[in-house]
Structure 1
Amino acid sequence: MSTLHVLSHSPFADTRLTSCLRVLGADDAILLSGDAVYALRPDSAPMHALQAKQATFKLFVLEEDLLARDLTLPDWAQSVNYAGFVELSIRYDKVNTWL
């Protein structure tokens, strides 16, 4: 069963991203939104953690939040708008929001 994991909190404030990366299944994906997009800061520990596992999951980033924080999308990730977020929610069997 595939799961879309939605993260919206800064990876520098807690361990949600680390915990999420530990439980990812083979068919799972992560959607970074809100302050969670700070995980894409170059040369940061969260970015290195994502890069280390990039071949094992799909990474989506809410485009509006990426642009608002002036960050660059890695080649191995895909940006989505709000309509794309809805489509992802339908495509995956479950949605797990890390509150």
Structure 2
Amino acid sequence: MSTLHVLSHSPFGDDRLTSCLRVIGANDALLLTGDAVYALQPGTVPCDALNARHPTLFVLAEDAWARALDIPDTAKAIDYPAFVELSIHYDKVNSWL
């Protein structure tokens, strides 16, 4: 069973990203939204954690652009309609509230 993990909180405020990366499976994906996109900042611990784990990674483009962050080649930028499509594609959606 595949899961889309959705993170929206800053990786610098708590350890949701760390917890998510600990349980994410090979068929799962991670979507960064809101302040979670700060995990894309090169040279930071959250970015290093993402690079070490290599999850299938999606980023809500609007949120990255609003924070003036570049989306790396290791992630796929998506819009809201694509977010809906991802939610349908995966068996479960787990929002890390």
Q: TM-score, normalised by structure 2?
A: 0.98
Q: How does 1:1-99 map to 2 (within 5 A)?
A: 1-54=1-54, 57-99=55-97
Alpha-carbon offset, residue 34 of structure 1: 0.1
Residues of 2 paired with 1:28 and 1:5: CA distance? 7
* Long gaps (5+) in structure 1: none
Alpha-carbon offset, residue 81 of structure 1: 0.1
Residues of 1 paired with 2:45 and 2:26: CA distance? 23
Aligned residue type for 2:16 = R
Q: Following TM superposition, where does structure 1 have runs of at least 4 consecutive aligned residues deviating by more than 2 angstroms?
A: none
Cα RMSD over matched residues?
0.5
Q: TM-score, normalised by structure 1?
A: 0.97
Residues of 2 paired with 1:75 and 1:62: CA distance? 14
Identity among equivalent positions (%) equals: 67
Aligned residue type for 2:73 = D
> Any idea what the Cα deviations from partners look like across 1:38-95, whole Å, max 9, x if unmatched?
00011000000000011xx210000000000011111111010000000000000000
